[in-house]
Structure 1
Amino acid sequence: MYSKIIVAVDAAAIDKADRIVPRAVKLLREGGSIVLVSVVEDLPGYVLAEVPVGISLDARREAEARIEDLRRRHGLAATIEVRQGAPARELLTAAAEHDADLIILASHKPDFSNYFLGATADRIVRHAQCSVLVDR
């Protein structure tokens, strides 16, 4: 059983989060806590010139709304964090800041460039200082 679990939530693939949240609840020690973390990726500079100014803020708001809905549907008393940057780096930072003992994330079906795990899952598995559960 784990006392602090980081659940990585891709707001664009909330169905995957619906699968992993119940796992987090089952693995949570009594009195423990869950942190739902979503990361809005930075847009490259060459793209920023072509998109509306508030697009990043809109993406954060949409992610917060989707995660809040996820939390409500599962009846969780979890903390929500929406971060901005590279997903693997931000999830590892969140785990370190919260002193997490487990990170749970879903992995997409990879192509040949990242055959065994998705790129984000691969980086987290390699660099995490705590246990990692990857749902496939």
Structure 2
Amino acid sequence: MYTNILVPIALDDEDDRAAKAIATAKGLASDGARITLLHVVDAVPSYAISYIPDDILAATRKGIDAEMTRLAAGIGAISEVIDGHSGRSILDYAKEHGNDLIVIASHRPGMQTLLLGSTATHVVRHAECAVHVLR
């Protein structure tokens, strides 16, 4: 089984994909495995940032941190919240932290992505470790 598992979490999911990904990671983990829940905060486009009050951005980040901490505490995992482009940031994090498995949920794709969501597709194509995709 796997000893260092990364589970990217999209907090905007409607189908409880995060819970399914966490359960899958726990099932694939060996005894004593490290599970990290990762949320990537995409940058607000420069044309929109001036319209968003700073206190809203800070409150949103605080809420994300709190929810990730809650999810991780429920399974004895580690939570991380980072800024960046989701696909690239997931791959960079996995490489930097020596993850041997990424468990990622894929959203319901449109015609442009056909089988997988764009983030999941990017992770599958470029990961240097095993990737388990949930549909």
TM-score, structure 2 length as denominator? 0.92
Please tell me the residue identity of whatever aligns with 1:131. A
Whether 2:93 is the aligned partner of 1:100: answer no
Aligned to 2:31: 30
Secondary structure of 1:30's aligned partner = strand
- Whether the 8 Å contact between 2:68 and 2:80 is mirrored in structure 1 is no
Q: CA deviation at 1:55?
A: 3.7
Aligned to 1:44: 45
Q: CA deviation at 1:90?
A: 1.0
Please tell me the residue identity of whatever aligns with 2:109. P
Rounded Cα–Cα distance in structure 1 between residues aligned with 2:114 and 2:42 = 22
Q: CA deviation at 1:30?
A: 1.1
- Whether the 8 Å contact between 1:6 and 1:102 is mirrored in structure 2 is yes
Paired residues for 1:8-23 under 5 Å: 8-13=8-13, 15-23=16-24
Aligned to 1:70: 71
Secondary structure of 2:119's aligned partner = helix
Aligned to 2:129: 130
Q: CA deviation at 1:22?
A: 1.0
Aligned to 1:114: 113
Please tell me the residue identity of whatever aligns with 2:27. K
Question: Which ranges of structure 1 fall in alignment gaps of 5 or more residues?
Answer: none
Q: State the identity %.
A: 37
> CA, structure 1 residues 68+26, in 2 after alignment: closer, same or farther (shift >3 Å)?
same
Equivalent residues, number: 134
After TM superposition, the structure 1 stretch with the greater mean CA deviation from structure 2, 18-27 or 52-61, is 52-61
Secondary structure of 1:12's aligned partner = coil
Rounded Cα–Cα distance in structure 1 between residues aligned with 2:49 and 2:79 = 27
- Whether the 8 Å contact between 2:107 and 2:117 is mirrored in structure 1 is yes
Q: CA deviation at 1:85?
A: 1.1
Question: Which ranges of structure 2 fall in alignment gaps of 5 or more residues?
Answer: none
Please tell me the residue identity of whatever aligns with 2:40. V
Rounded Cα–Cα distance in structure 1 between residues aligned with 2:96 and 2:58 = 23
Q: CA deviation at 1:9?
A: 0.6
Rounded Cα–Cα distance in structure 2 between residues aligned with 1:50 and 1:23 = 40
Q: CA deviation at 1:67?
A: 1.7
